[in-house]
Amino acid sequence: MKKIVLTGAAGKLGEELRGMLAGMADELLSTDIEPLGSEALENETYVQADLAEMDQIKPLMEGADMVVHFGAIVDERPFEEMLGPNFVGSYNVWQSAKLHGVKRVIYASSIHIAGMYKKTNPIPVDLPHRPDTWYGLAKCFTEDLGRMYWDKEGIESVHIRIYSCTSKPGNARALGSWLSFDDLRQLVQKSITTPVVGFSVLYGISNNDRAPVDNSGALHIGYKPTSNAEDFAEEVFANEPPADPQDGAQMCHGGPFATIELGVSPMGQMVIPGKDD
């Protein structure tokens, strides 16, 4: 492969992917609105760009085979703040991919496309969207955008609905929802190397005993997760305060995103391990 474009390259997950992606193509073009957290690799070029600006995004796609689109505001904010990076940004990525003949987009979708469903029902990939926030709605928009560009323009895409990707599971919810960094890399690698993906949706989740989703959508790319959050269960329960069974955040796939007011960040309520790793 000649060239891969990575958006969100300065982000937590982008940093986990850069080395692997650089090894998969002659050139890795890494882009973000923020500077990279570490030196560019030998065959990596960094370009600072705002996803919301088509004239900054379009030139990056020239000569690219595939785009790994991970850039976004990763939190709940008022709609007006999400619109540029998370909605228009997705349009800019797909439309400029089309203009430059890019074959495939790998997209970091999220469980928040279905955050309002109860966790007692394992959710398949083809359930109607039920977003919990503007953040989740932008992911729904982008999944539909990807489907439309496949149906109308023949651009393939893989939408990885990441649940919680951290260095280790940090709370009881994550014993079901965790995606390890190794399994993230495997998902992205197989999304790139599988010869035909068409329009694919799958869950970004490890091989957790308590996984609350049906991830059969990931079988056709040969995803075989190697991590299991259960290995951390004893440690997690030892530190977990008693849960309130009436708390909607405990019961819904979206966790605190399901109960927070629209436009308000729930991040303060969340324990995110590895934030400072």
Ligand X SMILES: NC(=O)c1ccc[n+]([C@@H]2O[C@H](COP(=O)([O-])OP(=O)(O)OC[C@H]3O[C@@H](n4cnc5c(N)ncnc54)[C@H](O)[C@@H]3O)[C@@H](O)[C@H]2O)c1
Catalytic residues: 135
Member of 110, 142, 186, 259 binding ligand X (CB under 6 A): 110
Q: Which stretch binds ligand X (CB under 6 A): 22-30, 39-47, 119-127, 161-169?
A: 161-169
By CB under 6 A, the residues from 18 to 57 that bind ligand X are 32-34, 50-52
* 266 near ligand X, rule: CB under 6 A: no
Tell me if 211 contacts ligand X by CB under 6 A.
no
Q: Which stretch binds ligand X (CB under 6 A): 5-13, 214-222, 244-252, 253-261?
A: 5-13
Closer of 85 and 176 to ligand X (Cβ): 85
What is the greatest pairwise CA distance in the chain?
A: 54
Is residue 165 part of the contact set for ligand X (CB under 6 A)?
A: yes
Tokens representing 256 are: 């605190």
If one asks whether residue 257 binds ligand X (CB under 6 A), the answer comes out as no
Task: Report in angstroms how near the CB of residue 190 gets to ligand X at its nearest.
Answer: 17
Asked whether position 145 contacts ligand X by CB under 6 A, the answer is no
For residue 245, the minimal CB distance to ligand X (Å) is 25
215: number of Cβ within 10 Å: 20
User: Minimum CB separation from ligand X for residue 50, in Å?
Assistant: 4
Q: Stretches 3-11, 151-159, 189-197, 252-260: which one binds ligand X (CB under 6 A)?
A: 3-11
Which positions from 60 through 99 interact with ligand X, judged by CB under 6 A?
70-74, 85
Give which of 201, 198, 222, 227 is closest to 213, Cα–Cα: 201
Shorter beta-carbon distance to ligand X: residue 14 or 212: 14
- In the complex with ligand X, the residue whose CB is nearer, 50 or 240, is 50
- Residue 32 or 132 having the CB closest to ligand X: 32
Chain residues binding ligand X by CB under 6 A are 8, 10-14, 32-34, 50-52, 70-74, 85, 108, 110, 162, 164-165
